[in-house]
Every structure is written in structure tokens, then in C-alpha cells.
Amino acid sequence: MGIIIDKNTRAIVQGITGTQGSFHTKLMLEYGTKIVAGVTPGKGGTQIHGVPVYDTVEEAQEKHSANASIVFVPAPFAADATLEALENGIRTIVIITEHIPVKDAVKVMAHAKQVKARIIGPNTPGVLTPGESKLGIMPAHIFKPGGIGMVSRSGTLTYEIAAGLTRKNLGQSTCVGLGGDPITGLNFIDTLIMFEKDTKTKAVVLI
């Protein structure tokens, strides 16, 4: 089953029409992630890879009732995008964007704590539960389902260790990139507590 995301996760992509948003939406869809909508102000009514695009998260939520979001919005606007998702009931948010201003990040994390939401990132490769769902930019082909949880602040090291585990036929339950910015959401302790409650996870690698 893994933690944070699974096969039932319904996600929106904020910044879906940008180069990175569009590219990684395609890869997430190909992996089987349920991307139900995208949000880019001014692009409502269009589609990307068959995914409907809306001007606001509120509009997307009215039609699709997502429970997760992934943010590919430029740093000056990423905090506002995240707050918009929180204000519309989304409680799992992956922020790919890096170098978000510290004061903005502090404001976002404080609000997320108030509403009991999970923020992964900023500056994260995302979260991947092998064989079920991927919210992020991780190279999915190196992971396989199994019982080892992974938590890391380094995307590159995550990939290297996951590939090594897979070569040894040791699959992963969920791989979590905490993010490399100074202020991030989930930390090692938060994530370990979640893994402790997951019956599928038999061991955890901290990187």
C-alpha cells in the first residue's frame, strides 16, 4: 500500500501548461497516476495530454474532487498556488519548484500545519509508490514494488540507491523526496512515523 499516495490518489497539476508541467504530466499519466485536472490561469478550457485545464483550483475541484496536487509554478508564484490548493481542500501537495522565497515558504508551512495538510518539498523530486502512483519527476523505471521505504533530501542519491535495491531484487514501498530548499514540509521524523504505520514497509532507508 505505501504511504502518502496510492492507486486511488486523484491529483491536479498546477502549472500544467508550462514546459516542465506538461512533460512530467505525460510521464505521470503513463505511469498510471490519476491526473484528473490541470490548473493554469488564463488557459481554462484547453487540454494537455487529454487532461482538462482550468483557470483556478476551485473550478477544478468543483468538477473533479482531487485529493492531491503537484506544483510546477515558478518560484515567485508557487506559494500562492500552494495556498490556493490548501484553501480548496487539498491536503497532499508536492512542490517541485525550487528556490521559493523563505518568507513565502514559512507562510505556506504554517498554514499547512493549521489545516493538517502534508507538503512535500519545495525543491523535491516528489513521491512514488511503485506500481501505483507517481507525483513528481522521479525516473519510474528504476523502482519496483516491495517492502523498503525510502526518504531522502537528495534526488540523485535516491535514484542511485533505488536502482541498486532494484538490481538486488529489493523493491520499495514508497520513495519520498523531502526537498532541498531551506524550508520544507515533511521531514524525516514525520515520514518515519507514517512508514511505521504501513504494514507493507519492512525497512526504511534514510538518505
92-127: pLDDT as tens digits: 999 999 999 999 999 999 999 999 999 999 999 999
Q: Calculate the CA 101 to chain-centre distance.
A: 20
Q: What is the DSSP string of the chain?
A: --SS--TT-EEEEETTTSHHHHHHHHHHHHHT-EEEEEE-TT-TT-EETTEEEESSHHHHHHHH--SEEEE---HHHHHHHHHHHHHTT--EEEE------HHHHHHHHHHHHHTT-EEE-SS--EEEETTTEEEES--GGG--EEEEEEEES-HHHHHHHHHHHHHTT--EEEEEE--SSSS-SS-HHHHHHHHHT-TT--EEEE-
Q: Is the pLDDT of residue 30 over 70?
A: yes
The rounded distance, in Å, linking the Cα atoms of 175 and 193 is 14
pTM score, two decimals?
Answer: 0.96
**What band does 1 get if pLDDT is binned at 50, 70 and 90?**
low
Q: Is the pLDDT of residue 155 over 90?
A: no
Backbone torsion region of residue 190, taken as left when φ is above 0, otherwise alpha when ψ lies between -120 and 50, otherwise beta: alpha
The Cα angle at residue 87 between residues 43 and 101, in degrees rounded to 5: 80
**What band does 67 get if pLDDT is binned at 50, 70 and 90?**
very high
**What band does 154 get if pLDDT is binned at 50, 70 and 90?**
confident
pLDDT of residue 2: 83
Percent of the residues in the chain that have a pLDDT greater than 70, as a whole number? 100
Give CA torsion, residues 186, 187, 190, 196, to 10 deg.
120
Percent of the residues in the chain that have a pLDDT greater than 90, as a whole number? 96
Mean of pLDDT values over 185-199: 96
Q: Does residue 145 have a cis bond before it (omega within 30 degrees)?
A: no
Work out the mean pLDDT of the chain and round it to a whole number.
96
